[in-house]
Amino acid sequence: MTKTRKMVFLSLLVSQGLVLHIIESMIPVPFITPGAKLGLANIVTVVSLYLFGEIETFMVIIVRLLLSSVLGGSISSLLYSIAGALFSFIVMALIKRVGRDKVSIIGVSSAGAVFHNIGQITIAALIVQNVNVSLYIPILTM
């Protein structure tokens, strides 16, 4: 794959992530958990990880998060998003690398979802300086 073609595909993944982020913000969430979202934009992370690799996926994540924040977010939402995305990315990359033959793409994605929540709860605990926020994790992982 040429560099130009690769850049175009990565740009398309970023734009798809942005579109999914915008669509997700319009969907009313009927969950009991306040602030819970489906995480549709994270589909792009999984696709990128399997199609390209870790470095490219990291770039897609950072660009998507920065653009999402600029288009309709805040500094605090950027902090939570970065923490969740980085925790998720690290775990998914490790599981994909170590458990290549043992863990399916669904397993990798599920682990990423759980660790995305853990990353966001970790930032929340640091901001409010109270570890009791971690009691929210079981509710988020349902």
Contacts of 116 (CB under 8 A, 6+ apart): 39, 42, 84, 85, 87, 88
* Alpha-carbon distances, residue 25 vs 75, 116, 124, 136 (angstroms): 17, 17, 21, 21
- The CB density around residue 57, as the number of other CB atoms within 10 Å, is 24
pLDDT of 66: 94
pLDDT of 111: 95
User: What mean pLDDT is predicted for residues 84-104?
Assistant: 94
Question: What is the pLDDT of the chain when averaged over all its residues?
Answer: 90
| Residue in 56, 38, 39 with CA at minimum distance from that of residue 48 | 56
User: What mean pLDDT is predicted for residues 124-141?
Assistant: 86
- Asked if residues 24 and 81 have their Cβ atoms less than 8 Å apart, the reply is no
pLDDT tens for 48-68 read 999 999 999 999 999 999 999
Cα 42–chain centre separation: 4
pLDDT tens for 1-58 read 899 999 999 999 999 999 999 898 888 776 666 667 788 989 999 999 999 999 999 9
| Residue in 128, 60, 130, 125 with CA at minimum distance from that of residue 88 | 60
pLDDT of 126: 93
pLDDT of 27: 81
- Asked if residues 60 and 10 have their Cβ atoms less than 8 Å apart, the reply is yes
pLDDT of 34: 67
CATH of 3-140, one of 3.30.300, 3.30.230, 1.10.1760, 1.20.1340: 1.10.1760
